Amino acid sequence: MIKLKNIRVSYDKEVGESEALCGVNLEIDKGEFLTITGKSGCGKTTLLKVLCAIKKPDSGEYFYNGTNILSLKEKELCRFRNKSIGFIAQHFALIDKMTVYDNVELPLKYRRIRHAERRERVFDALKVIGIEQAVNKFPHQLSGGEKQRCAIARVLAQDADVILADEPTGSLDEKNTRNIVTVMKRLNSSGRTIVLVTHDKDVAMAGTRNINMRDGRIMI
């Protein structure tokens, strides 16, 4: 489904150039639940940004279902990100002035999906995640666990084939961490491919495969 070949990404630092990804090769099968671990600064988040097509590598190849993603024009990339890839940020990325409903609905508006279908998708996603009772609340009225569930519901409503999650349990307590892991396992069992970055060894063990990164490289 996903194939990365010799991906390299460098960032300019005040003291000189720093290589975030050093010739990464990775294949991810459809329906896989891949967890990625490693110390801070090892390249985990940069790898997710490449997979999400929001960071273009300096060199290498990225294929998604046979399509060369790096050859796509910007409009095509936007369509790819909005339709095929769901991204769950570590700090939820919710819009404070929008209700839970509006936050979950927003990506569907960009896709110009009709109102009736948007409404159905939003409520279906909230029910699956278990926060339909919070539909009219604002982010500041939610607990950390509820905010993360809202972020997951937003991705679920997109009906994306691949879910990328950057430390989705990083700011949650143990109980909410277990709840989110249960949700991610359920989404994976329904056929979605999941790539999850984590520092938590217990969360990492929830996947069907784990890889460890060090200094911009995948360690086998």
Q: Write the CATH number for 168.
A: 3.40.50.300
Four-residue CA torsion sign, 201, 204, 209, 213: negative
pLDDT at 207: 96
In a domain, 9, yes or no: no
Dig out the tokens for 139 from the structure: 């982010």
pLDDT at 92: 86
The predicted-structure confidence for 54-75, as pLDDT tens digits, reads as follows 999 999 999 999 999 999 999 9
In a domain, 134, yes or no: yes
pLDDT at 30: 96
Owning domain of residue 202: 30-54+83-219
pLDDT at 136: 97
Four-residue CA torsion sign, 5, 11, 16, 19: negative
Q: What is the mean pLDDT of each run of 10 residues along the chain (220 residues)?
A: 96 70 96 96 94 95 96 92 88 93 93 93 91 96 91 90 92 86 91 95 94 92
Q: In what order do the strands lie in the sheet with 2-13?
A: 16-28, 2-13, 59-64, 67-68
H/E stretch holding 68 reads strand 67-68
Q: Which residues pair with 193 in a beta bridge?
A: 162
In a domain, 156, yes or no: yes
pLDDT at 13: 56
Q: Are 10 and 58 in contact (CB under 8 A)?
A: yes
Say if residue 97 is exposed, middle or buried (CB neighbours under 10 Å; 0-12, 13-18, 19+). exposed
The predicted-structure confidence for 10-41, as pLDDT tens digits, reads as follows 987 555 568 899 999 999 999 999 999 999 98
pLDDT at 14: 54
Instruction: Give phi and psi for 101, each to the nearest 5.
Output: -55, -50
pTM as predicted: 0.89
In a domain, 153, yes or no: yes
Q: Are 2 and 27 in contact (CB under 8 A)?
A: yes
In a domain, 21, yes or no: no
CA 95 – CA 169 distance, rounded (Å): 19
Q: Concatenated DSSP letters for 5-64?
A: EEEEEEEEETTEEEEEEEEEEEEE-TT-EEEEE--TTSSHHHHHHHHTTSS--SEEEEEE
Q: Which residues pair with 33 in a beta bridge?
A: 194
In a domain, 147, yes or no: yes
In a domain, 65, yes or no: no
| Total domain count, the chain | 1
